Structure 1
Amino acid sequence: MAQKLTQPEWFGWSQEKRNEEAKKLLAEAGYTADKPLTINLLYNTSDLHKKLAIAASSLWKKNIGVNVKLVNQEWKTFLDTRHQGTFDVARAGWCADYNEPTSFLNTMLSNSSMNTAHYKSPAFDSIMAETLKVTDEAQRTALYTKAEQQLDKDSAIVPVYYYVNARLVKPWVGGYTGKDPLDNTYTRNMYIVKH
Structure 2
Amino acid sequence: MLCLKHPGGVKTFFPFLVKQVTIILMNPRNNKLKITGLFILGIILFGSGFWYWQKVDENDLGQENQSKTTNIINQDLKPDSLPLLTVTRVIDGDTIEAGEERVRLIGIDAEEINQTGPEKNSSCRALLAKEYLIDLLLDKTVEVEIGQEPKDQYNRSLAYIFLEGELVNAKIIEEGLADVWLMSPNTKYHQQLIEAQIIGQEVQEKTDFCQQLN
Same fold (TM over 0.5): no
Scaled by the length of structure 2, the TM-score of the pair is 0.23
More contact order relative to length (CA 8 Å, sep ≥ 6): 1
Scaled by the length of structure 1, the TM-score of the pair is 0.25
- Report which of the two has the higher share of helix: 2
Computing the radius of gyration from Cα coordinates, the structure with the larger value is 2
